[in-house]
Amino acid sequence: LPQQPSETGSAPIIRKKLNGYVGFANLPNQVHRKSVRKGFQFTTMVVGESGLGKSTLINTLFNTGLYPPKEPLPPSAERPQTVAIESISADIEENGVRLRLTVVDTPGFGDFVNNEESWKPIVENIESRFDSYLEQENRVNRQKIADNRVHACLYFIQPTGHSLKPIDVEFMRQLHTKVNLIPVIAKADTLTDEEVADFKARILADIAHHNIHIFQAPTYENEDEEALAEAEEIAGQIPFAVVGSDHLVKTLDGREVRGRAYPWGVVEVDNEDHCDFVKLRQMLVRTYMEELREYTNDVLYENWRTQKLVSMGVVQDQSVFKEINPASRMQEERVMHEAKLAKMEAEMKMVFQQKVQEKEAKLKQSEEELYARHREMKEALEKQRADLEDKKRRIESGRPLTPEKTNQTRKKGFLRA
Ligand code: GDP
């Protein structure tokens, strides 16, 4: 087989044919098992004026009563003056796959007389979630990183049939580099098919005009035709014209469906001829949930992280910067961190050893001093004993003591005492 130069430009990569089954073809199954065991985290944000059907659509999408029915505010109640950020989480399971779903709601958006900067608290919330992820990545122990980043943002457009409003454009312009934007036309059952088609065209033109990037289903070169066709079909429906309903209604032909009943018939949520709900679900849940998570991590978060670190004064060799992927960069950071720890440990050991040596030398010195004093005292005692022996002998033999000796002995005895 022909040899190919490796991507790094060093040793060439040789293609080899296997002589039998090795088993690495089972790798995808291993990855599958592991991710099923670990479960998934997915956070979606919903933004749009109140009453556009956000909570109803979320309940419809995940087929659960995640949002309890809303109590209307009494007329006397004080209305909040700012956009609030509220999140609801639920653990849901389907065929053994666990999903921790978090929906971040933004009540108040677009509801005030002055909606200028309504987007601000939302951007701050998205960035604080990036911050918290970055902080976890920089911890010494990175075993359990909770991913609370927003993976998708459903932006609800009022079904006016005209074009985007300034608040829509401003919101998307401020948010499109921080989150995967998925625009939807709310309550599409209030528009005719023709109106929906015209409205979609105008919205897309506005989006293009303002250079807003909305999430597009990715396509890969070696993908099969079916997947390519699916991606194209989904892309063709953006912005999704949706209808939400979390209860069942009876159709004229007697079927029970999720939908909205009108005097002239039923609008079915799950019927692709009636609305784009099915396509939206495909985009958000069935086909591209992992792509949304991946794009958030690899592109949106990574760009934000780079900007943040650069603004903090962290510099990096630009040539290296472009080439390495986030995983290898993280690995590199870990190696550097470990080397730093090892160096600190070695330095502490050295200081400790030095201190021990000093102490030992001091102890040895005082031991020697003690020993010398002991020897001196012993010698003096020996001498005193010898003198006394001598004196005793002289007394016994009847010889008188010489005055000189007596003095000497006395003096010594006095000194010792
Ligand atoms: P939110 O304030 O954006 O969360 O809106 P809700 O989900 O609470 O819905 C507000 C009202 O609109 C409720 O009375 C819903 O029954 C209704 N609604 C929700 N979705 C749709 C829809 O797709 N079409 C129509 N016509 N009404 C809807």
The answer to whether residue 225 sits within a structural domain is yes
Ligand 1 centroid distance, CA of 267 (Å):
14
Ligand 1 centroid distance, CA of 55 (Å):
7
Ligand 1 centroid distance, CA of 245 (Å):
8
Q: How far is CA 17 from the centre of its chain?
A: 40
Question: Of 315, 350, 370, which one is at a domain's C-terminal end?
Answer: 315
The answer to whether residue 126 sits within a structural domain is yes
All residues at 6 or more sequence positions from 234 whose CB lies less than 8 Å from its CB, including other chains: 217, 279, 282, 283, 287, 288
Please tell me whether residues 286 and 364 are part of one structural domain. Answer: no
Strand, helix or coil for residue 53? coil
Residue with the larger pLDDT of the pair 143 and 190: 190
User: Which uninterrupted H or E stretch holds 3?
Assistant: strand 3-4
In a mutational test of the pocket of ligand 1, which residue from 54, 56, 79, 196 has the highest number of ligand atoms less than 8 Å from its CB?
A: 56
Question: What's the whole-number mean pLDDT along residues 290-298?
Answer: 93
Which pLDDT value is given to residue 311? Answer: 85
Residue 244 Cα: closest atom of ligand 1: 23
Ligand 1 centroid distance, CA of 238 (Å):
20
Please tell me whether residues 214 and 305 are part of one structural domain. Answer: yes
Nearest CA to ligand 1 atom 7: 53
My answer on whether omega of the bond before 239 falls inside 30° of 0, hence cis, is yes
Taking the C-alpha atoms of residue 288 and residue 217, their distance in angstroms, rounded to an integer, is: 7
User: Which uninterrupted H or E stretch holds 14?
Assistant: strand 13-14
Please tell me whether residues 56 and 174 are part of one structural domain. Answer: yes
What length does the chain have? 417
Range of 375's domain?
A: 358-416
- Give me the long-range contacts of 253-260 (CB less than 8 A, separation at least 24): 258/60, 260/189
Helix residue ranges, H only, 105-160: 120-137
Residue 242 Cα: closest atom of ligand 1: 23
Please tell me whether residues 165 and 296 are part of one structural domain. Answer: yes
The answer to whether residue 273 sits within a structural domain is yes
Instruction: Determine contact, residues 164/201, Cβ cutoff 8 Å.
Output: no
Ligand 1 centroid distance, CA of 50 (Å):
9
Please tell me whether residues 301 and 371 are part of one structural domain. Answer: no
Residue with tokens 């670190």: 309
Question: What radius of gyration do the chain's Cα atoms show?
Answer: 41
Please tell me whether residues 201 and 74 are part of one structural domain. Answer: yes
Nearest CA to ligand 1 atom 12: 53
The answer to whether residue 348 sits within a structural domain is no
The answer to whether residue 165 sits within a structural domain is yes
Which pLDDT value is given to residue 316? Answer: 60
Helix residue ranges, H only, 266-325: 277-281, 289-295, 302-311, 318-323
Task: Say whether pLDDT at 367 is over 50.
Answer: yes
**Dihedral angle sign, alpha carbons of residues 370, 374, 376, 380:** positive
Ligand 1 centroid distance, CA of 56 (Å):
6
Please tell me whether residues 309 and 362 are part of one structural domain. Answer: no
CATH (domain of 241)? 3.40.50.300
- pLDDT tens, residue by residue, 321-341: 555 567 777 777 888 888 888
Nearest CA to ligand 1 atom 27: 187
Whether the full predicted model's pTM is greater than 0.90, yes or no, is: no
Which pLDDT value is given to residue 1? Answer: 46
The answer to whether residue 329 sits within a structural domain is no
Which pLDDT value is given to residue 30? Answer: 86
All residues at 6 or more sequence positions from 303 whose CB lies less than 8 Å from its CB, including other chains: 177
Task: Say whether pLDDT at 403 is over 70.
Answer: no
Question: Of 282, 315, 348, which one is at a domain's C-terminal end?
Answer: 315
Instruction: Determine contact, residues 278/272, Cβ cutoff 8 Å.
Output: yes
Residue with the larger pLDDT of the pair 320 and 42: 42
Please tell me whether residues 253 and 374 are part of one structural domain. Answer: no
Q: Which of the four pLDDT bands, split at 50, 70 and 90, describes residue 126?
A: very high
Ligand 1 centroid distance, CA of 51 (Å):
6
Nearest CA to ligand 1 atom 26: 187
Which pLDDT value is given to residue 13? Answer: 79
Please tell me whether residues 269 and 363 are part of one structural domain. Answer: no
Question: Of 315, 332, 348, which one is at a domain's C-terminal end?
Answer: 315
Which pLDDT value is given to residue 151? Answer: 96
Taking the C-alpha atoms of residue 225 and residue 231, their distance in angstroms, rounded to an integer, is: 10
Residue with the larger pLDDT of the pair 74 and 228: 228
Question: What's the whole-number mean pLDDT along residues 174-191?
Answer: 96
Residue 186 Cα: closest atom of ligand 1: 23
Please tell me whether residues 241 and 385 are part of one structural domain. Answer: no
Task: Say whether pLDDT at 374 is over 90.
Answer: yes
Taking the C-alpha atoms of residue 56 and residue 41, their distance in angstroms, rounded to an integer, is: 21
Please tell me whether residues 296 and 367 are part of one structural domain. Answer: no
- pLDDT tens, residue by residue, 236-292: 999 999 999 988 999 888 899 999 999 989 999 999 999 999 999 988 888 899 999
The answer to whether residue 352 sits within a structural domain is no
- Give me the long-range contacts of 244-252 (CB less than 8 A, separation at least 24): 244/53, 244/56, 244/57, 244/59, 244/60, 244/187, 244/269, 244/277, 245/56, 245/60, 245/269, 246/56, 246/59, 246/60, 246/65
Taking the C-alpha atoms of residue 132 and residue 302, their distance in angstroms, rounded to an integer, is: 14
* Mean per-residue pLDDT over the chain, rounded: 85
Nearest CA to ligand 1 atom 9: 53
Which pLDDT value is given to residue 414? Answer: 47
Q: Which of the four pLDDT bands, split at 50, 70 and 90, describes residue 400?
A: low
Instruction: Determine contact, residues 188/276, Cβ cutoff 8 Å.
Output: yes
Ligand 1, residues at Cβ distance < 6 Å: 50-56, 70, 187, 189-190, 243-244, 260
**How many domains are there within the chain?**
2
Ligand 1 centroid distance, CA of 62 (Å):
16
Q: Which of the four pLDDT bands, split at 50, 70 and 90, describes residue 150?
A: very high
Instruction: Determine contact, residues 182/154, Cβ cutoff 8 Å.
Output: yes
Ligand 1 centroid distance, CA of 57 (Å):
8
Please tell me whether residues 388 and 300 are part of one structural domain. Answer: no
- pLDDT tens, residue by residue, 51-86: 999 999 999 988 877 777 666 666 666 666 678 888
Taking the C-alpha atoms of residue 124 and residue 27, their distance in angstroms, rounded to an integer, is: 40
The answer to whether residue 174 sits within a structural domain is yes
User: Which pair of structure tokens corresponds to residue 87?
Assistant: 């999140």
